[in-house]
Each structure stands twice: as C-alpha cells, then as structure tokens.
C-alpha cells in the first residue's frame, strides 16, 4: 500500500495499489455507558451504580489498550453520568495521540429528555476541553431530531437501519448518510450504522459477536465497496467478563478476552482495506462533498 503526500489538510492518504483512489473510510465507535443492561431483563437485576460504572471502566481500559496496540482511531459516544464518574478516562480518550473523538450518548443511559442533548454536550466539553459535535441516543430510541442543531450538534448516529425483533423495525429508513435540513448550521447530518445493501445484513455489535467471521468480513467489504465507508459500533462492557450477571446468552456469549481477540484480528484485517476516521471528521467531509456536488449541478 503506497502512502502519498497530498495537500488535503496536510494529511497523507493511502491509495489502492495501481489505482489513484483513496481507500474507503472505517468509522469505529464505542458507546461508553453505565452497564444497566441487566435491568432490561427485570428491574430486580439492576446492578448498583458503582458496579455499573466499574464494568464500563474495565471494558473501556481493555478497549483503549486494544486501540493503542492496533493504532486504530475511534469515536466514543459517552454518557455524562459515566464521564462525571471517570473524568480522567474521558480526558485520556480526548488527549490520545490517535486523535480519538468524544461524542455524546446522552445524560444517563436509562432515561432521556430533550434537555439532556445540550447539558450532556456541555458537560463533556467541560471535561475534555474540546468541541463535542456528535450524538447517539441510548438504545437508538426515537426522539425529535430537530432539537439537535439547536443543542449545538452537527451530526447524529442514532439510526440502525435494520429489523431487530422486539426492538425496532428500521428497514425503510435510509441505509447511508443523509441530511436533515439544509447544509449549514441549521441542519444535521445523519450517519446510520452500516448494514449491507439489499438484504441489510446487520453489522452492529450483536452481529459481530455471532456471525461467522468470514461472512461478517464479506458483508464489510460489500459495504466498503458500495458506500465508500463502514460505520460499526460496540460497547466497552463487551470486552470484560460478564460472569455473575443475569443476562441472556446472546449478550454473554464471547464476552471479555474472546471479544478482544476477535475485534483485534478484525481491525488488523480492516486496516488493510480502509482508513480509520472519526464520525465528526467524516461528517464534515461528507457535507463538503454534498456541497460540491450541488455546486456542480447549479
Ligand atoms: Zn448505549
């Protein structure tokens, strides 16, 4: 793979061998949150707040080490509750030489009201000292996305355009990046989580955990080729032991070290086929491309 210096923002871009075209982008994100999942399966199962934060912290430590080893850049959608409990970890993400992004996953993982949009963004900015421009709603719940721009967000990644039995049916939603409102400060760019063209084979964390790896890689390549980018996400708690919690087998399977090894092998494979980017940087690039194509048409 040749590395060529260009004048595009002073960064170098990798080119496919023999073809003068940049590699597609890989957008990897983690939803950093209190481990409240056992509560979904009966409120009596909800661990203490301290345990919820501890599980998230152990997983996040494993994830950051994995990204350091592989040299991969990522976006961390973080709840304000988790960030307030572990500000030093959120600063470590924001100050990483890999140039990770911190974005908002709302105030608390188990509730949502519209004012959480603004107050979580402000809380995260205070901790990191950097602008926070992205949002993902916990559990991909519906909300009025017209409120995003007013709360200072530039993009949203709260769509998983698949059918997930018992959760949501988003089969009719757009599969790739789109815009709500005009290009400019009044609108917001939506970056749905990736699913394959046609059948919408899912590529989010549960699919990564259970799919045969050859099939998951095939679907990833299909998306990279068709869309020019791949948007996938995980949770730090997947990367630590979940023994002792009453959660279904589909969530418990391949937890902890097995997931670390699985993701590490996949990221090394993906690194040869795509350039990792944050969702914030990708959103800006996508908006610029849209603006340029409008310009050409007029
Ligand atoms: Zn979440």
For the chain, which domains are there?
Answer: 21-297 (3.20.20.370)
How far does residue 138's CA lie from ligand 1's centre (Å)?
4
Higher pLDDT, 42 or 250: 250
Paired tokens of 147:
């409120």
How far does residue 160's CA lie from ligand 1's centre (Å)?
13
> What is the distance of C-alpha 188 from the center of its chain?
17
Paired tokens of 8:
């595009």
Torsion sign (Cα): 58, 59, 61, 62: positive
pLDDT tens, position by position, 280-290: 999 999 999 99
Listing DSSP states for 54-111 in one string gives HHHHHHHHHHHHHHHHHT---EEEE-HHHHHH-HHHHHHHHT-TT--EEEE--S-TT-
How far does residue 192's CA lie from ligand 1's centre (Å)?
15
How much is the pLDDT for 3?
47
How far does residue 16's CA lie from ligand 1's centre (Å)?
35
Per DSSP bridges, beta strands 12-15 and 2-5 are: antiparallel
pLDDT tens, position by position, 184-215: 768 999 999 999 999 999 999 999 999 999 99
Q: Are 117 and 153 in contact (CB under 8 A)?
A: yes
Q: DSSP code of 232?
A: E
pLDDT tens, position by position, 111-133: 999 999 999 999 999 999 999 99
Mean pLDDT in residue range 142-164: 94
Helices (H), the chain: 37-40, 49-70, 80-85, 87-94, 115-128, 147-150, 205-210, 213-227, 249-252, 257-271, 279-297
How much is the pLDDT for 1?
44
Residue matched to tokens 């609108």: 187
How far does residue 64's CA lie from ligand 1's centre (Å)?
18
């Amino acid at each position: 793979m040749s590395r060529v210096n260009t004048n595009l923002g002073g960064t170098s871009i990798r080119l496919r061998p023999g073809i003068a075209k940049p590699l597609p982008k890989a957008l990897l994100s983690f939803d950093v949150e209190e481990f409240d999942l056992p509560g979904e399966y009966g409120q009596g199962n909800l661990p203490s707040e301290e345990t919820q934060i501890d599980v998230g912290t152990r997983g996040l430590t494993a994830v950051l080490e994995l990204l350091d080893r592989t040299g991969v850049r990522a976006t961390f959608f973080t709840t304000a509750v988790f960030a307030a409990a572990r500000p030093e970890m959120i600063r470590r993400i924001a100050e990483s030489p890999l140039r990770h992004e911190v974005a908002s996953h709302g105030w608390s993982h188990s509730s949502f009201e519209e004012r959480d949009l603004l107050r979580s963004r402000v809380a995260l900015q205070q901790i990191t000292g950097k602008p926070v421009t992205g949002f993902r709603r916990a559990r991909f719940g519906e909300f009025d996305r017209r409120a995003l721009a007013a709360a200072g967000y530039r993009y949203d990644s709260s769509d998983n355009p698949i059918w997930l039995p018992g959760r949501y049916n988003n089969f009719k939603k757009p599969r790739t990046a789109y815009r709500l409102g005009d290009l400019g400060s009044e609108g917001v760019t939506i970056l749905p989580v990736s699913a394959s063209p046609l059948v919408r084979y899912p590529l989010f964390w549960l699919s990564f955990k259970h799919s045969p790896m050859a099939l998951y890689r095939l679907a990833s390549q299909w998306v990279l080729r068709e869309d020019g980018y791949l948007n996938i996400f995980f949770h730090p708690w997947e990367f630590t032991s979940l023994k002792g919690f009453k959660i279904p087998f589909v969530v418990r399977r391949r937890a902890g070290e097995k997931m670390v090894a699985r993701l590490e092998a996949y990221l090394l494979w993906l690194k040869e086929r795509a350039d990792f980017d944050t969702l914030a940087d990708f959103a800006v690039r996508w908006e610029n491309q849209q603006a340029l194509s409008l310009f050409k048409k007029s």
